[in-house]
């Protein structure tokens, strides 16, 4: 058994050592995420006035367009089923899916706005594919959130988000695949229309 | 705040507003140019792009953990039972509790119970050969039990290295290469697998609260669960809201989360 006292000291020394490289390693994808997360938090920090409320949503929406590649997200999520959709259906799917994500994540992110976001690591799989690991630090809890990015003509764009090890794309993929294995794409679109519609009504209190 | 304004060029703002603000008609909602990127048939796909697409597809195809669900009808019934239990009983009770008891106090209770189950984390770190983490858990327990007033204040979490991922018996079994077994939804306890259910038995024996005399054991555990629920209201709702099939969404989230905890 190692004496606790030395472990105690060692752990503090470790903290000092670990604290340094975390800030040094920031490449392009991480800088991109840092900038975007900061922008989102800035919008969220603004007061929620009635007239400002709609503007806030619009600004978050345009930010989400800069952060996410919704078409890529949609393709990944449908996987091979993507090919079964007509071009029009793909357009609609992309739109509805972005609305569905927005509805959920805007709610979630507003709750997180008081917390601190840490940028922990960046992994470059290839020149064009990267992962940025972040965590949201709450009192006594760290929620790991990592972003998967692809480099496009317009720059880096997020195509998947993992919260506590749960990939958004994979989670929806399972659901969509099970629906599409039994139904035509139109049925899935109808379910999504209903879902998004419910959300719009609930938001417009 | 005005300092974010310069990040959007005027034409960007206009274009983005066009894309997202009007819910109908859909064809105008999203520019055709944008969608074309995602439609391989409409233009020639370069080999590089194709390779990238395949690589990503493989990534997901491999990673999707197949956990069988032979008990699906039973599990769906239990899912509905838990859902009702939450919305009809647990949530209203927790909302009432929240108005009476300040969040800081509720956090204190949660910290207390987290500190109490230190043996679960310590033993499972050791069983997984994570001796350094076991040591850090011990430090954390000592700090929180003393300076943190019997665990009510999680003072150790001020030090980044002392906020550790939780370990339990189910993860230990997983780290030994034991498969998940099929999916099970327990009444009250929620999503699990055969392996994690065995793990729950292990955790039971490692939890000091299991050795409290008579009914105090059950009462303290129920209170812990109730108190934790009061601090996470809204999480289940948003998962449900975001999904088209809440049962599958919760199942997949559980399986993915457990997998990531075992791999850490």
Question: What is the model's pLDDT at position A56?
Answer: 76
Contact check, Cβ <8 Å, B136/A191: no
Q: Which residues of B touch A157 (CB under 8 A)?
A: none
A73 within 8 A of A172, measured Cβ to Cβ: no
pLDDT for the residue numbered B63:
54
Q: Which residues pair with B228 in a beta bridge?
A: none
Q: How far apart are CA B3 and CA B14, in angstroms?
A: 19
Of A204, A139, A134, A163, whose CA–CA distance to B156 is shortest? A139
CB nearest to A170's CB, from B23, B163, B252: B252
Residue in A14, A74, A88 closest to B38 by CB:
A74
- Over residues A138-166, the pLDDT tens digits come to 765 778 889 999 888 778 888 888 888 88
Is a pLDDT exceeding 90 seen at residue B16? no
**Residues B212-228: tens digit of each pLDDT:** 888 888 899 899 999 98
- pLDDT at position B18 is 31
Task: Return d(Cα B86, Cα B92) in angstroms, integer.
Answer: 8
Q: Where are the alpha helices (DSSP H) in B117-168?
A: 118-127, 131-146
Rounded Cα distance between A31 and B64, Å, is 30
Partner-chain contact B21 A174, CB within 8 Å: no
Q: Which residue of A has its CA nearest to B233?
A: A111
Determine the pLDDT at residue B263. 86
The predicted model scores a pTM of: 0.75
Q: A79, B57: Cβ pair inside 8 Å?
A: yes
Q: Which chain A residue is nearest to residue B161, measuring alpha carbons?
A: A15
Cβ contact A18–B138 (<8 Å): no
Residue of A170, A179, A198 best to disrupt the B interface, most CBs of B under 10 A: A170
Calpha distance B5→B158 (Å, rounded): 35
Length of chain B: 264
Distance from CA of B261 to the nearest CA of A (A): 8
Mean pLDDT across chain A = 77
The alpha helices in chain A, defined as continuous H runs, are 4-24, 28-45, 50-67, 70-78, 87-112, 168-182, 185-203
Rounded to 5 degrees, what are φ and ψ at A136? -100, 120
Mutate: best of A44, A174, A198, A203, partner B, most B CBs <10 A:
A174
Query: What are the tens digits of pLDDT across the range B146-202?
Result: 887 887 888 777 777 777 888 999 999 999 989 899 999 999 999 999 999 999 999
Q: How many CB atoms lie within 10 A of CB A61?
A: 18
The reply to whether residue A71 touches residue B38, judged by beta carbons under 8 angstroms, is yes
CA gap B179, A32 in Å, rounded: 39
| Chain A with chain B: Cβ pairs closer than 8 A | 166
Q: Binning pLDDT at 50, 70 and 90, where does residue B58 land?
A: low
Of chain B, the percentage scoring pLDDT greater than 70 comes to: 75
- Please judge whether A11 and B259 are an interchain contact, meaning their C-beta atoms are less than 8 angstroms apart: no
Angle at B166 between CA A16 and CA B131, to 5 degrees: 60
Contact A90 B29 (CB under 8 A): no
DSSP SS3 for B20: helix
Whole-number Å distance between alpha carbons of B90 and B232: 12
Choose, out of B30, B138, B258, the residue to mutate when testing the contact with A (most A CBs < 10 Å).
B30
- CA-nearest residue to A8 within chain B is B139
Per-residue pLDDT tens over the stretch B85-136: 999 999 999 999 999 998 889 988 988 998 899 999 999 999 998 899 898 8
Q: What is the pLDDT of residue B74?
A: 96
Return d(Cα A102, Cα A149) in angstroms, integer.
18
Q: Summarize pLDDT for A50-97 with one digit per residue, the tens.
A: 555 567 778 888 888 888 888 888 888 888 888 888 888 888 899 999
pLDDT, position A204: 43
Pairing of strands B183-186, B190-193: antiparallel
For B40, nearest residue in chain A (alpha carbons): A83
Put simply, the answer to whether B253 touches A140 (Cβ < 8 Å) is no
Per-residue pLDDT at B11: 35
pLDDT at A69: 86
């Amino acid at each position: 058994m190692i004496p606790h006292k030395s472990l105690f000291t060692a752990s503090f020394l470790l903290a000092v050592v670990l604290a340094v490289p975390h800030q040094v390693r920031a490449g392009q994808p991480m800088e991109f995420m840092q900038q975007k997360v900061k922008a989102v938090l800035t919008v969220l920090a603004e007061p929620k006035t009635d007239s400002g409320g709609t503007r806030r949503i619009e600004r978050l929406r345009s930010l989400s367009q800069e952060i996410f590649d919704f078409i890529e997200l949609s393709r990944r999520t449908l996987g091979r089923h993507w090919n079964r959709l007509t071009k029009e259906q793909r357009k609609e799917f992309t739109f509805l899916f972005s609305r569905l994500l927005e509805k959920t994540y805007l709610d979630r992110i507003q709750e997180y706005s008081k917390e601190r976001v840490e940028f922990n690591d960046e992994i470059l799989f290839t020149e064009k594919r990267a992962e940025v690991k972040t965590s949201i630090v709450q009192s006594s809890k760290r929620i790991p959130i990592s972003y998967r990015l692809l480099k496009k003509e317009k720059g880096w764009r997020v195509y998947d988000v993992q919260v506590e090890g749960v990939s958004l794309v994979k989670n929806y993929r399972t659901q969509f695949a099970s629906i599409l294995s039994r139904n035509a794409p139109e049925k899935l679109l109808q379910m999504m229309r209903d879902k998004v519609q419910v959300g719009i009504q609930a938001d417009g209190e | 705040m005005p300092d974010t304004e310069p990040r959007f060029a005027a034409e960007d703002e206009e274009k983005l507003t066009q894309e997202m603000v009007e819910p109908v008609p859909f064809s105008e909602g999203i520019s055709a140019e944008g969608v074309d990127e995602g439609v391989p048939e409409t233009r020639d796909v370069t080999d590089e792009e194709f390779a990238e697409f395949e690589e990503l597809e493989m990534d997901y195809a491999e990673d999707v953990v197949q956990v069988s669900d032979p008990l699906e009808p039973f599990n769906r019934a239990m899912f509905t039972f838990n859902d009702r239990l939450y919305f009809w009983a647990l949530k209203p009770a927790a909302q009432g509790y929240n108005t009476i008891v300040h969040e800081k106090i509720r956090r204190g209770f949660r910290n207390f119970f987290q500190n109490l189950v230190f043996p679960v984390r310590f033993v499972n770190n050791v069983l997984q050969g994570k001796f350094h983490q076991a040591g850090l858990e011990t430090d954390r327990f000592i700090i929180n039990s003393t300076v943190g007033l019997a665990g009510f204040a999680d003072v150790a979490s001020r030090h980044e290295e002392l906020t550790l991922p939780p370990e339990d018996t189910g993860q230990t079994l997983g780290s030994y290469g034991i498969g998940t077994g099929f999916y099970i939804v327990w009444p009250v306890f929620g999503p699990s697998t055969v392996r994690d259910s065995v793990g729950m038995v292990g955790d039971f024996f490692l939890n000091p609260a299991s050795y409290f005399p008579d009914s105090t054991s059950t009462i303290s555990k129920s209170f812990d669960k109730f108190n934790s629920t009061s601090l996470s209201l809204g999480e289940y709702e948003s998962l449900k809201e975001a999904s088209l099939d809440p049962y599958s969404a919760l199942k997949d989230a559980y399986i993915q989360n457990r997998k990531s905890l075992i791999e850490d």
